[in-house]
Each structure stands twice: as structure tokens, then as C-alpha cells.
């Protein structure tokens, strides 16, 4: 088992021309297996993997993501932190719908979130059961192994406003039968088996996650929340990935972790942190740091030492920018997405962007010197030291800060 990878499974959902319109995602443990789990933990784990670890684009390109939810997830409000145009929330046909669930679904529907009934069939009389929320349902997924086609034909006039998905389609005859009935979409082994996906994993420390959640609940000033974030590299990396997954455009130019937190807002941060808590992906204090956490820690330490040597009076503001630069510099390798694309979603000050893309400007030279120290590129070190007007004997103290 790889402790630094996340795992989940997915299966495509296709239209009548077999073009993929989305994927359904399934929980898997660290070994890639189905094990005993409670639904809330499973859903939250999938969401953390998709939003904070792999990223939505890597997981589903520009298609829809179908996620199973239950009443505990509905009651938690963590779904409000997700982009409404990307997700379809699947409610099992076996789920009990009370007035509480109806109010939660109605609220989310009012915010343009989409819902599906999962594993519907002609045997479970789901129409009567789901009448209280049927107006909020966009998709209905029929289990072809538990559906009588004659009974289904009689039921179809009542479902003419719904998008119908035939699931568990395993042979061409079933595909053709449901296609003839006018079904819009299809899912099953006839098209593709479940595909197991692993991706880089960055888990925060459990105590830090709880501490930040309590600070948000207590309406602690964002400056203090940002100071706590500085102690948890993994959580900051997850936040940057989450922003990349959920933000289409940003007009605010960020220059620090605090400004990014301000942009996201306390309420959304609270919902996002709660998702991590429910997923149980946060580790205890004795857990081994991930390579990405060690690398960002090293990069921040070296950049801060260089900035202090240049001009201690500039240290505070420039070190804040250097911290953000260090985090962003690792996102490309973590997410497998070009840095220029990431910076479209996480809009930063021009000097930070120039430092990352072209290593130009004072911050860019600091970043370039940091990379040359990490890579043992002594020729570049000498050139950059002269450009920054620093003495060669600084190199020994910079080398001592290397952790990897």
C-alpha cells in the first residue's frame, strides 16, 4: 500500500452515441478495495480525493461527476462547498425521504445543484415514495437487472420530463432495448468496467484540521486562521487544489495565503474543512510527512533565508509572497496540470506569477537560487548570488536547510 496516494474507482455514463457525459465515482480504501464503511465517510473521502487531491479536471475532464449521497451528507451542508455545475448527487432508491431531507434537497436545488435517483426499478414503487422530491430530480437511473420492461413502459409517461439512465447494461441487447424505449444515457460493463484511479495524496494532521475548524466556528479573525494554516503545509496544498477545482475565474490578485483565505470566505472554508473531517483522511500527529510537505517546507526555509540576507526590512511582505510561491511551485507536479493553467484559477500578483513562470524579478531570482540549491547547480548559484548582491559564504547555510 502506498501511503502517499489516494484511490477511488469510476465508471463512465454515455449517451446514445456512446459519448461520455459524466462518470460515477465509487469509494475504495487505500488498498483499492471495497471494505466496510459508513456512507458519510465514503462520500466525503471521494470528494476530498476529487477536489483536494486529484482535481476535478484530472478526474472527469469537463464532464459531470455523479456522487452517491445519503441523509447524513445532506444534513451536513458540505455539499454547498462544491461547484453546482459539475456534480450530480445520487440518492439511493432505498433511502428514506423525510421532511428534513426534502428541505435540504429543495435548498440545494434552489442553488442549481442536480439530483438523481439511483438504482430505481419497477419493483420498488419508487415513484410514490419519491413524490415529495420528484420535482427536484433531474436524472433517474434504472437498474436493468431489477426492471420489468412492460411495467417500465407503462411508467414512462410519468417520467417524460426526466433524463433516464439505464445502469448495469452488460450486453448489447439490453442497450438496444432501453435505447428503443427512449433512454438518454447508459452505464455498465457493456461500455466500460470500473476503473481504479490512484493519485498523489497529501494528508493534513488531524489536530491541525480540528483546530482550524474550531477557529472558523468561533469566527476567529482570518489573520489568525492564516497563521495556523502556515503550520500545516498539507492543508494549504489541499486548499490550493480545491480552489483550482472549484474556481473558474478570479479577479482578486492574491499575494499571500491570508488573501486566498479571505477570498474563499469563512463559511466556505468551514464547509470544506468539515468535508476533510468527515472523510477521516487527516492523520494523527505522529504520521510521517509526505514528500510534497517536506519539499514545500524546504523551499520556504531556503527562500526566507535568502530574503533575510538581501534585506531584513523587506522580510515580512516578501516572505509571505515567497511562501505562496513555494506552494504554487509544487502544484504542477502534484496535479499534473501546467502551472500557467493553475494560475488562471488562482490569480496572484504579477511578481509572483513572473517568479514562477519566468523566474524574473527579485522574487524570481530568489526562487531561481532556491531551485539551484535544491538541484546542486553551483554554476547557477554563483550567477544568482552576484545578481542578488549576496556573498558566496551564504551557500553553506542554504545547503544546511535542505531536507530532501
As a three-state string, the secondary structure of 303-347 is HHHHHHHHCHHHHHHHHHHHHHHHHHHHHHHHHCCCHHHHHHHCC
Mean pLDDT for the stretch of residues 310-319: 79
What tens digit of pLDDT does each residue of 50-101 get?
999 888 988 999 999 999 999 999 998 899 999 999 999 999 999 989 999 9
pLDDT value, residue 2? 42
Q: Where are the beta strands (DSSP E) in 110-257?
A: 114-120, 139-143, 163-167, 185-186, 195-200
Looking at the chain, the whole-number percentage of residues with pLDDT higher than 90 is: 67
pLDDT value, residue 202? 76
**Cα gap 21→11, rounded to integer Å:** 11
CA–CA distances in Å: residue 46 to residues 21, 50, 156, 242, 375: 19, 6, 33, 13, 36
**Considering the chain, what is the average pLDDT of its residues?**
89
The CATH number of the domain covering residues in 5-200 = 3.20.20.450
Looking at the chain, which residues constitute the CATH 3.20.20.450 domain(s)?
5-200
Q: With 60 as the cut, is the pLDDT of residue 384 above it?
A: yes
- What would the grid cell of residue 336 be? 499534473
Q: With 60 as the cut, is the pLDDT of residue 251 above it?
A: no
User: What is the β-pairing status of strands 163-167 and 139-143?
Assistant: parallel
> 142 pairs with which residues across the strands?
120, 166
More confident residue, 6 or 18: 18
pLDDT value, residue 1? 37
What tens digit of pLDDT does each residue of 259-278 get?
999 989 999 999 999 999 99
3-state helix vs strand vs coil in the chain, percent to 5: 55, 15, 30
Q: With 80 as the cut, is the pLDDT of residue 301 above it?
A: yes
Residues 6+ apart with CB under 8 A from 237: 202, 292, 293, 296, 327, 330, 331, 334
What tens digit of pLDDT does each residue of 149-197 get?
999 999 999 999 999 999 999 999 999 999 999 999 999 999 999 999 8
Asked whether the beta carbons of 281 and 374 are under 8 A apart, the reply is: no
**Which residue, 384, 254, 395, is CA-closest to 327?**
254
pLDDT value, residue 248? 61
**Cα gap 369→380, rounded to integer Å:** 7
Q: With 70 as the cut, is the pLDDT of residue 4 above it?
A: no
**Cα gap 338→78, rounded to integer Å:** 29
Cβ neighbours around 212 below 10 Å, total: 23
User: What is the β-pairing status of strands 87-92 and 64-69?
Assistant: parallel
Mean pLDDT for the stretch of residues 109-131: 91
Phi first, then psi, for residue 95 (nearest 5°) are -70, 140
Amino acid at each position: 500500500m502506498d501511503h502517499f496516494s489516494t484511490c477511488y474507482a469510476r465508471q463512465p455514463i454515455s449517451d446514445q452515441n456512446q459519448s461520455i457525459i459524466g462518470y460515477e465515482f465509487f469509494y475504495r480504501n487505500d488498498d483499492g478495495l471495497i471494505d466496510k464503511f459508513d456512507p458519510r465517510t465514503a462520500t466525503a473521502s471521494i470528494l476530498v480525493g476529487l477536489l483536494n487531491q486529484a482535481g476535478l479536471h484530472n478526474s472527469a475532464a469537463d464532464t459531470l461527476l455523479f456522487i452517491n449521497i445519503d441523509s447524513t451528507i445532506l444534513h451536513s451542508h458540505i455539499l454547498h462547498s462544491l461547484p453546482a455545475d459539475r456534480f450530480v448527487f445520487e440518492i439511493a432508491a432505498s433511502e428514506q425521504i423525510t421532511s428534513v431531507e426534502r428541505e435540504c434537497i429543495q435548498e440545494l436545488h434552489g442553488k442549481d445543484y442536480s439530483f438523481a435517483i439511483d438504482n430505481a426499478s419497477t419493483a420498488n414503487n419508487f415513484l410514490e415514495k419519491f413524490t415529495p422530491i420528484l420535482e427536484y430530480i433531474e436524472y433517474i437511473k434504472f437498474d436493468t437487472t431489477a426492471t420489468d420492461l412492460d411495467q417500465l413502459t407503462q411508467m414512462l409517461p410519468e417520467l417524460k420530463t426526466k433524463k433516464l439512465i439505464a445502469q448495469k447494461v452488460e450486453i448489447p441487447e439490453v442497450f438496444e432495448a432501453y435505447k428503443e424505449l427512449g433512454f438518454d444515457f447508459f452505464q455498465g460493463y457493456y461500455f466500460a468496467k470500473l476503473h481504479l484511479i490512484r493519485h498523489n495524496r497529501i494528508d493534513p494532521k488531524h489536530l491541525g484540521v480540528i483546530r482550524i475548524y474550531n477557529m472558523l466556528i468561533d469566527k476567529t479573525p482570518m489573520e489568525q486562521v492564516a497563521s495556523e494554516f502556515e503550520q500545516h503545509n498539507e492543508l494549504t496544498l489541499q486548499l490550493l487544489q480545491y480552489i483550482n477545482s472549484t474556481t473558474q475565474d478570479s479577479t482578486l490578485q492574491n499575494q499571500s495565503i491570508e488573501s486566498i483565505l479571505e477570498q474563499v470566505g469563512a463559511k466556505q472554508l468551514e464547509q470544506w474543512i468539515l468535508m476533510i473531517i468527515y472523510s477521516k483522511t487527516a492523520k494523527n500527529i505522529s504520521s510521517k510527512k509526505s514528500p510534497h510537505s517536506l519539499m514545500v517546507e524546504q523551499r520556504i526555509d531556503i527562500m526566507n533565508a535568502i530574503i533575510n540576507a538581501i534585506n531584513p526590512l523587506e522580510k515580512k511582505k516578501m516572505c509571505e509572497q515567497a511562501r505562496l510561491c513555494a506552494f504554487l511551485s509544487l502544484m504542477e507536479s502534484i496535479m499534473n496540470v501546467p502551472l500557467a493553467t493553475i494560475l488562471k484559477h488562482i490569480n496572484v500578483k504579477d511578481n509572483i506569477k513572473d517568479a514562477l513562470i519566468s523566474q524574473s524579478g527579485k522574487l524570481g531570482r530568489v526562487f531561481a537560487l532556491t531551485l539551484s540549491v535544491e538541484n546542486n547547480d553551483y554554476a547557477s548559484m554563483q550567477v544568482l548570488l552576484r545578481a542578488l548582491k549576496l556573498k558566496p559564504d551564504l551557500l553553506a547555510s542554504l545547503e544546511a536547510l535542505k531536507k530532501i
